[in-house]
């Protein structure tokens, strides 16, 4: 009888320990950022970039639970990322994929419908790998014309609704057009802007965890 009671106590202890640990184990995520120079840290050190700051903030709030993979490349386009994505998904097996792309396509005057198709395929492939997807919306300078700018921006709304994913309407909100937050080329954000970019992105990323 005593041995039976002891076994029950041991089993109860093990079950309680498992229940305590399981939320931590289940909540651990790999977040992969697929972006262009805005996320690759063009013109600044990687340690100053918003992606690195994201890892630091996650480590503070969820110690040693989440891993951020920065798969961003300066100058990247939606088509370039589409070619790289299958290997990235296979290598890193992310739980969350953040797509921050389209700006370079727009600056090169790529047809909006083609950009939309590429974004759709990026989302599809990520979802097929069982990852949650977050899309960061972009805007382009007004000198490209109202019709093109409107069609470009609408792409993000269309694909986010089509695939039922979260959309950050404008990743560069609070930074674009602010000379004190931009590098000399007035295209890339400087180190001072990275905290703002992180604050724009973080609520969407945190919600996915």
Q: What residues form DSSP beta bridges with 168?
A: 136
What pLDDT does residue 14 have? 44
Known active-site residue 74: no
Of 37, 72, 126, 160, which one is the catalytic site residue?
37
What CATH number is attached to the domain comprising 92?
Answer: 3.40.50.1110
Q: Which domain holds residue 187?
A: 28-208
24 φ/ψ angles, rounded to the nearest 5 degrees:
-65, -45
DSSP state of 193: G
Q: Considering the domain boundaries, does residue 176 fall inside one?
A: yes
The residue written with tokens 């262009």 in the block is 36
> Which value, to the nearest 10 degrees, does the dihedral of the CA atoms of residues 200, 202, 205, 209 take?
-160
pLDDT digits (tens, 9 = 90+) for 141-165: 889 999 999 999 999 999 999 999 9
Long-range own/partner contacts, residues 46-54 (CB < 8 A, 24 or more apart): 46/70, 48/191, 48/194, 49/194, 50/194, 50/195, 50/197, 50/198, 50/201, 53/194, 53/195, 53/198, 54/198, 54/201, 54/202, 54/205
- Kindly state the average pLDDT of the residues 20-45: 81
For residues 54 and 194, is the Cβ–Cβ distance under 8 A? no
Of 66, 72, 188, 208, which one is the catalytic site residue?
188
Q: Considering the domain boundaries, does residue 203 fall inside one?
A: yes
pLDDT digits (tens, 9 = 90+) for 84-117: 999 999 999 999 999 999 999 999 999 999 999 9
Angstrom distance (rounded) from CA 188 to CA 183: 6
The total domain count for the chain is: 1
Residue 159: Cβ within 10 Å count: 24
What pLDDT does residue 28 have? 86
Q: Considering the domain boundaries, does residue 142 fall inside one?
A: yes
Known active-site residue 36: no
Known active-site residue 160: no
Q: Considering the domain boundaries, does residue 66 fall inside one?
A: yes
Q: Considering the domain boundaries, does residue 100 fall inside one?
A: yes
Q: Considering the domain boundaries, does residue 89 fall inside one?
A: yes
pLDDT digits (tens, 9 = 90+) for 175-189: 999 999 999 999 999
Q: Considering the domain boundaries, does residue 37 fall inside one?
A: yes
Residue 153: Cβ within 10 Å count: 18
What pLDDT does residue 75 have? 98
Q: Considering the domain boundaries, does residue 14 fall inside one?
A: no
Categorise residue 167: left if φ over 0, alpha if ψ from -120 to 50, beta otherwise: beta
């Amino acid at each position: 009888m005593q041995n039976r009671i002891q076994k029950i106590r041991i089993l109860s202890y093990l079950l309680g320990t498992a229940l305590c640990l399981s939320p931590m184990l289940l909540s651990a995520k790999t977040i992969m950022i697929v972006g262009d120079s805005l996320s690759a840290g063009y013109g600044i050190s990687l340690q100053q970039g918003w992606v690195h700051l994201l890892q630091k903030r996650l480590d503070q709030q969820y110690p040693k639970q989440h891993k951020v993979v920065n798969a961003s490349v300066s100058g990247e386009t939606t088509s370039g990322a589409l070619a790289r994505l299958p290997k990235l998904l296979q290598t890193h097996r992310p739980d969350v994929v953040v797509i921050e792309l389209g700006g370079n396509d727009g600056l090169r005057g790529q047809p909006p419908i083609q950009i939309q198709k590429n974004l759709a395929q990026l989302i599809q492939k990520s979802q097929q790998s069982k990852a949650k997807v977050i899309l960061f919306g972009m805007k382009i300078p007004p000198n490209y014309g109202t019709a093109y700018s409107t069609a470009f921006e609408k792409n993000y709304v269309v694909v986010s609704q089509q695939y039922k994913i979260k959309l950050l309407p404008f990743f560069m909100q609070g930074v674009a057009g602010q000379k004190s937050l931009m590098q000399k080329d007035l295209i890339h954000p400087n180190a001072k802007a990275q905290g703002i970019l992180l604050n724009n992105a973080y609520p969407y990323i945190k919600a996915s965890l």
